[in-house]
Structure 1
Amino acid sequence: MGQRAKRTTTVTVDLGELKAPWQAWCQAHGITPSHALRSALRQAMDRRATRVPAPRSRVTPKRERATARIELNLTASELAALKKMAVHEGYVPTKWMVAMVRAKLTGQPHVGQPELEALARSNQQLLALGRNLNQIAKVLNTAPQNRTAFRVEVITELSRVIQTHTKKVSDVLRGSVERWHIQ
Structure 2
Amino acid sequence: MDRITVRLPPDLTRRFDAAAAARGGRSRLLRRLIERAAEAALPAVLDAPKAAASVKLTLRLAEPDLAVLAREAARTGLSRTQWSVALLRRRLHDRPQFTPVERVELVEVRRELRRIGVNINQIARALNTAVMEGHVLDLEVAQLANFQTEIAAWVDALGDAFQGNLDYWRDRS
Q: With structure 1 as the length reference, what TM-score do the two structures score?
A: 0.45
Higher RCO (C-alpha under 8 Å, 6+ residues apart): 1
Structure with the higher fraction of residues in helix conformation: 2
